[in-house]
């Protein structure tokens, strides 16, 4: 059996390894230290309801600057959760709310100018990290 494992993104592959194993049971454990996890809220919908969640359309980590592009509802605040062992020096485009040690909410406010129900707008959030 052959397994290919890559850590990183399509643009920045940090490491890759080709593994060959014998027949039978195999186990692979990967531990990653550092970095950041980005999770968009996913509200539960009922049949017939319009989409209400955040649509993350792009993320980029260049040096210490994390950029998140997302489509968010115009008529309500939206939340994106970050999980990282790194500190956060600054944020732009959202308010930062600590949840627990290393877990934060980025709160993107509603846009009162575009408050038509169900409409989405593109927003950019930048977070400066302290590794």
Distance CA 114, CA 120 (A): 9
Q: How many domains does the chain have?
A: 1
Decide if 15 is inside a domain: no
Q: What is the pTM of this model?
A: 0.71
Residues 6+ away with beta carbon under 8 Å from 56: 38, 40, 68, 69, 70, 80
Burial class (CB in 10 A: 0-12, 13-18, 19+), 59: middle
Helix, strand, or coil (residue 67): strand
CATH number of the domain encompassing residue 82: 2.60.220
Decide if 11 is inside a domain: no
pLDDT of 1: 44
Decide if 29 is inside a domain: no
Listed as ranges, residues in the chain with pLDDT below 70 are 1-22, 30-33, 114-118
pLDDT of 75: 86
According to DSSP, residue 16 is labeled E
Distance CA 12, CA 20 (A): 24
Boundaries of domain holding 119:
34-130
pLDDT of 70: 94
pLDDT of 14: 53
Decide if 45 is inside a domain: yes
Distance CA 58, CA 123 (A): 11
Decide if 62 is inside a domain: yes
pLDDT tens-digit map of 35-72: 888 988 777 778 877 777 899 999 999 989 999 999 99
Decide if 100 is inside a domain: yes
Decide if 21 is inside a domain: no
According to DSSP, residue 49 is labeled P
Strands 55-62 and 13-20: unpaired
Decide if 103 is inside a domain: yes
pLDDT of 91: 96
Buried-exposed string 18-29: b where 16+ CB fall within 10 A, e elsewhere: eeeeeeeeeeee
């Amino acid at each position: 059996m052959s397994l290919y494992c890559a850590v990183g993104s399509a643009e920045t592959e940090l490491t890759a390894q080709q593994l060959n194993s014998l027949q039978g049971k195999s186990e692979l454990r990967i531990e990653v230290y550092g970095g950041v996890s980005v999770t968009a809220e996913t509200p539960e919908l009922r049949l017939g309801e319009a989409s209400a969640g955040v649509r993350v359309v792009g993320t980029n980590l260049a040096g210490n600057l994390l950029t998140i592009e997302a489509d968010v509802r115009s008529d309500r605040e939206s939340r994106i959760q970050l999980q990282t062992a790194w500190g956060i020096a600054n944020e732009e485009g959202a308010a930062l709310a600590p949840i627990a040690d290393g877990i934060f909410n980025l709160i993107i406010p509603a846009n009162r100018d575009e408050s038509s129900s169900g409409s989405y707008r593109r927003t950019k959030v930048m977070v400066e990290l302290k590794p």
